[in-house]
Amino acid sequence: MLKDEITIRIVGNLAVMFPESNLDQNRARFMIDEILNDYEVQPMPMSLVPIENDIQQKVKLYLTVKALDGLSPITLDNYRLHLKRFAFYFAKPIDQITTIEIRMYLSRVTQGMKATTLATAISVLKSFYKWLCEEEYISKNQMSKIKQPRVEKRIRDALTIEELEILKESCETLRERALVEFAYCTGCRVSEIESVNISDINWDNLNLNVIGKGDKERTVYISPKAKIHLRKYILSRTDQSSALFVREKRPFTRLGVRAIQREFNSLGKKANLNRNIYPHLMRHTMATLTLNNGADIVSIQEMLGHTNPATTQIYARITNESVQQAHRKHLVQ
């Protein structure tokens, strides 16, 4: 058990520290296990381990396991934020923390938080405690009695057709226009946009495969207009990078998530739309405008890569005008 834990921590840390090294995790685990078999491994006596490190160690191991499971870097950062706050709050072994103490912690640290943030904090802790029980670090799940708050599913606020056109017209560079067109027509998440390579695109069929949440692969589609702007942008480049979107200055590395977010924020200011513009808004917009133009919810669910149709309903808003038109068209007189 202890050797397994050591192996997971080593391989996990290597995967996190060197994400682009194409680490063969199974082979690495085998090699480490083979080396550890020559040694007798003993845990450090608890008297020598600082009490506050008990939770911190478990959090590090948990995050390592989640990284090996394929959790996205953005989700991992979110988990790390909530769990570090939790670990800092308690200076006692994790198996001595009671449900009442967790409730007190949540009531104190979540004051002023939105209901959605509180729900996320509880969800992360529930996942963490479930793992602790499965790995037999604790004998009782203290989060089992803490219920998730009810969060109303708000309608996602998409761009109108007019706002989308204004945003496109505000683009000053070939990269900006290609990025907007690609984000809108594919409905890709920002992490998916970051990872796309030029060679991924099937220019004849106007589609490509992306790896989404849960390491699930799906096909997304590009429009003829997007193809034109992507081609213009790619032909204008002098770099040798395989990435679809790259930085404009040397060494022309892949455009990362934060850089893509800044790009859309900058475009929003230039467009003077008086609202926040961010990559995920393009995903909302694609879903909403496609639905309002006659697409069925199942097709949109496939485009967005959702396993649950209820999730798609949050992204795709039907306007009152569309509902009225459907009523007039289908009502039996």
Domain that holds residue 95: 44-134
What average pLDDT does range 33-61 have in this prediction?
69
Q: Which band of pLDDT confidence, cut at 50, 70 and 90, is reported for residue 47? A: very low
Task: Look at 103-107, 149-153, 250-254, 262-266 and tell me which has the smallest mean pLDDT.
Answer: 149-153
d(CA 84, CA 233): 42
Active site residue 189: yes
Q: Is there a contact between 326 and 292 (Cβ–Cβ < 8 Å)?
A: no
pLDDT one-digit tens code per residue, 135-148: 889 999 999 999 88
Domain harbouring 92, CATH code: 1.10.150
Task: Please indicate whether residue 213 is annotated as part of the active site.
Answer: yes
Mean per-residue pLDDT, 31-46: 71
- Which of 9-23, 37-51, 118-132, 284-298 has the largest mean confidence? 118-132
- Active-site entry in 29, 80, 85, 213: 213
Of 155, 164, 156, the closest CA to residue 268 belongs to: 164
Which of 84, 227, 247, 280 is an active site residue? Answer: 280
Residue identified by tokens 């683009």 is 171
Average pLDDT over residues 77-82: 88
Catalytic residue status for 306: yes
Task: Tokens for 9, please give them.
Answer: 């921590």
1, 19, 170, 192, 268 from 182: Cα distances, Å? 47, 25, 16, 11, 16
Neighbours of 332 (CB within 10 A): 3
Catalytic residue among 60, 66, 315, 317: 315
108 in active site = no
Choosing from 175, 177, 189, 284, the catalytic residue is: 189
Closest CA to 262 of 184, 188, 169, 194: 194
Residue 21 lies in a domain: no
* 201 occurs within a structural domain: yes
Between 52-61, 92-101, 138-147, 148-157, the lowest mean confidence (pLDDT) is in 148-157
Say which CATH number the domain at 234 has. Answer: 1.10.443.10
Mean pLDDT highest for which of 193-207, 277-291, 317-331? Answer: 193-207
To the nearest whole number, what is the mean pLDDT of the chain? 82
* pLDDT at position 221: 93
pLDDT, tens only, 95-122: 889 999 999 888 887 777 777 788 888 9
Same domain assignment for residues 122 and 258: no
Give a yes or no: residue 148 inside a domain.
Answer: no
Residue 64 shares a structural domain with residue 186: no
Q: 303: which 2 tokens?
A: 């485009």
pLDDT in tens, 234-243: 999 999 999 9
Say whether 280 is catalytic: yes
Asked if 283 is an active-site residue, the reply is: yes
Helix or strand run (H / E) with residue 219: strand 217-221
Look at 191-195, 250-254, 322-326 and tell me which has the smallest mean pLDDT: 322-326
Tell me: do 235 and 87 sit in the same domain.
Answer: no
Average pLDDT, integer, range 221-229: 94
User: Both 268 and 310 in a single domain?
Assistant: yes
Please tell me the pTM assigned to this model.
Answer: 0.59
Q: Which of 58, 177, 229, 306 is catalytic?
A: 306
